[in-house]
Chain A
Amino acid sequence: MSKRILAAAFGAAFAFVATSAMAGTLDEVKKKGFVTCGVSQGLAGFSLPDDKGEWTGFDVDFCRSIAAAIFNDAKKVKFTPLSSQARFTALQSGEVDLLSRNTTWTMGRDTSLGLMFAGTTYYDGQGFMVKKSLNVKSALELSGASVCTQTGTTTEQNLADYFRSKNMKYEVVSFEKQADVDKAYESGRCDVYTTDQSGLYAVRLTLANPDDHVILPEIISKEPLALTVRQGDDVWFSVVKWVYFATVNAEELGVTSKNADEMLKSTNPEIQRLVGATDKFGEGIGLTNAWAYQAIKLVGNYGEIFERNLGPSTRLKIARGVNALWKNGGLQYGPPIR
């Protein structure tokens, strides 16, 4: 809603104008006793409050891992749902400490928006969803269609590039809130829904008759969805980045939430460094040496987080695909902890 955009925009402007440079985020987080994490406003599998009002999802779990690494308590997170439009101003103004909010890592955002991307938690790409009854088999048949999407996204830019470069006509109908996009698509205001493919799977579940809609085979972009922090705070950047890498390394080394305690006694030097049995890597990033052990014990390794929220046993049934570990042919790769 316009009021929200305005509020966020003024918040950002005000932060630029009224506050002096932000003190270290890690220190502030420790002082206030919780992490403020910007998540999406409701996307099944990624960030959604469950029936008890607890936030759940893939994006949510990375916030919890970070809280677990800092506080040894995965509950010390305050979730702030943000629209795509408002997310960057909320981060810049200090309203949140990080974004774990299906945010695509792009060069423009990385260099001129004052943001830094701390690691790609999910490799995605933009897709299209249409009603089965339209009998469309490929995105190339979409000339003349109305396309619904969200404002403030890479999605609306990719869409423009794709249709214009293919010389296809289209009409874009975009809203700030995803709920409004869903409504417009379901009412028939648009023929096509476009967003990150993972988002399409999530949205389809919430439609009245999910089986009436198909996701087309074309993927028109690269959407590396990454954890996002403010530029200029290297300590906090390292914390966020290495908590994520720790979850990936833990999967590779077979350390899980269930066996974390046994792993404390492991003789494998790599595991010893990860769980903090040897060396002082935690202290190096301003945490205790049990940082990674806590994150894995309380929230799980990358594979566990994926399976729990998105994998074949969930409603979303997303395959690991490119998000498999590098040694299984995927792209998830944690630099060594040493």
Chain B
Amino acid sequence: MTITTEVSPQSSDSQGDKIFWWNDPRIRGFILQGAMLLAVVLVFSTAIYTANSNLDNHHNARGFGFLDNRAGFDLAQALVDYPKDATYGRALLVGFLNTALVAVFGILFATILGFIAGIARLSKNAVISTIAMVYVETVRNVPLLLQMLFWYVGVLQVLPAPRNSFQPITGSVFLNNRGLFIPQVSFTGMTGWGILFGLVLGIVAAVIMSKWATARQLRTGAQFPAFWVGLALILALPIIGFVITGANYTTNFPIKSTFNLSGGMRVIPEFMALVLALTLYTGVFIAEIVRSGILSVSYGQSEACHALGLTNGQTLRLVVIPQAMRVIIPPLTNQYLNVTKNSSLAVAIGYPDLVYVGGTVLNQSGQAIEVIALWMLVYLGTSVTTATLMNWYNQRNAIVER
């Protein structure tokens, strides 16, 4: 933050010692910065002072001690235990996890959809590219909040009541205005561990195998179906684990009860609407980012690949996308941050995310400053973490100059 000016030391030297100290850019810089710092300190201390005396006048407590007080309200979705004497702190944790869940699913689905749509827009097949274009142009121009309300009020709330559920798989999968219900499978005894062990083993084996395949290809030129073999390993080993540990499992099917379905696993409509809207909306922007990333790779590269006899798929996967990624990742990071921040629109459709829970806590406890500080801290923290991860990934993909 040093202030540099055009006046360079040499020019002042050449003028001899006629320079007054207030014309010295270094001293001026110090003075300006000092004044700035003083102003900031003053503003902040006045703010803190007035806040303090106002809080005294209003008999408001302050500090984060209130997080230990009993919340006394329930939440529609909790990923961790949320007992009846849970504290405000616990409620906020539930809200944060709900935000994280939406963000993770939103980012995952939007990335998949965005890559497909972005590539599809460049397709030589007119039908495919037109579908992608229509998707991008319509969804991009409708505000996210409206899309959310559309899915929630216009689509999910008009589904049939529980007793008339849609049953895509009769007796197992139910869709109604209370959400999506699927059977819950739980593994008992050693079976759970067997599957987990198989999965870890499968992933490790797949990684080793793919390293070996690359090395062999470099050495001998011979190709190996590494992708398919890897997939087979990752799928087969957990199955073997499942079988040799005795295949102990129980299933819990959703069944009709007085008001609703009970049992099974349930995805609430508020979550579905939020993830749907975030996915479709963010997918558009990712599609455009992917499209421009691909277009930034010169067409000569593709021609060269075709001349070498690579298929279209190979060209895209091995040559174009890896180079496009360097252009794609920085704006993609922005989209990921947007998903997290936009998920705070959840309040409008009653999904208990961090903003929703924080709002209720604020209303009950009156600790406005503390709740806002927590909101800012959490959203800032999540954004910084996401950005750091993406930057790390980007650096790994950066062009290695030789």
Contact = CB atoms under 8 A, between A and B. Distances in A.
Interface stretch (B116-124, B181-189, B204-212, B357-365): B357-365
A2 B47 CA distance: 25
Given A18-B50, A159-B74, A232-B57, A1 B363 contact: no
B53 A157 contact: no
B145 to A, nearest CB: 8
B60 interface: yes
A232 B161 CA distance: 51
Instruction: Tell me the interface secondary structure of chain B in the complex.
Output: helix
A171 B261 CA distance: 12
Interface stretch (B9-17, B105-113, B134-142, B344-352): B344-352
Contacts of A164: 84
Which 7 A-B pairs have CB atoms at the shortest separation, nearest pair first?
A114-B58, A152-B363, A187-B157, A113-B366, A2-B347, A12-B368, A145-B259
A13 B257 CA distance: 46
A331 interface: no
Contact of B50 (A20, A84, A111): A20
Given A21-B57, A112-B60, A232-B57, A151 B359 contact: yes
A34 B60 CA distance: 28
25 contacts: A1-B347, A9-B372, A19-B50, A85-B359, A85-B363, A89-B362, A89-B368, A92-B366, A108-B364, A111-B59, A113-B366, A143-B258, A151-B363, A156-B74, A160-B73, A173-B350, A175-B350, A176-B347, A180-B350, A183-B153, A189-B177, A189-B178, A230-B58, A231-B58, A232-B58
Interface string A189-223: 10100000000000000000000000000000000
B75 interface: yes
A221 to B, nearest CB: 13
Contacts of A159: 74
Contacts of A161: 72
A314 to B, nearest CB: 31
Given A19-B50, A144-B259, A159-B74, A151 B356 contact: yes
In the complex, which of the residues A19, A172, A230 has the most CB atoms of chain B within 10 Å of its own CB atom? A172
A157 B350 CA distance: 16
B57 A9 contact: no
Given A16-B368, A17-B47, A232-B57, A144 B258 contact: yes
Nearest to B360: A151
A51 to B, nearest CB: 26
B50 A9 contact: no
A187 B153 contact: yes
Contact of A160 (B84, B178, B257, B346): B84
Interface residues of A, number: 56
A174 interface: yes
A88 interface: yes
A212 to B, nearest CB: 14
Interface in A174-189: 174-176, 180, 183-184, 187-189
Interface string A80-99: 00001100110010000000
A189 B269 contact: yes
Given A9-B359, A16-B55, A191-B259, 17 more contacts: A2-B356, A9-B368, A13-B369, A17-B48, A18-B47, A21-B54, A85-B360, A111-B59, A113-B60, A113-B366, A146-B260, A152-B364, A157-B73, A176-B347, A183-B153, A189-B269, A231-B57
A5 interface: yes
Interface in A286-328: none
Nearest to A232: B57
B61 interface: yes
Contacts of A10: 372
B399 interface: no
Interface of A: 1-2, 5-6, 9-10, 12-13, 15-21, 84-85, 88-89, 92, 108, 111-114, 134, 142-146, 151-152, 156-157, 159-161, 164, 170-176, 180, 183-184, 187-189, 191, 230-232
B362 A9 contact: yes
Contacts of B158: 187
B51 interface: yes
B369 A84 contact: no
Given A146-B178, A176-B347, A187-B157, A114 B60 contact: yes
In the complex, which of the residues B50, B73, B344, B369 has the most CB atoms of chain A within 10 Å of its own CB atom? B73
A163 to B, nearest CB: 8
A151 B73 CA distance: 9
B307 interface: no
Contacts of A172: 73-76
A180 B76 CA distance: 16
Contact of A19 (B54, B145, B157, B258): B54
Contacts of B260: 144-146, 171, 191
A92 B158 CA distance: 40
A208 to B, nearest CB: 14
Nearest to B348: A1
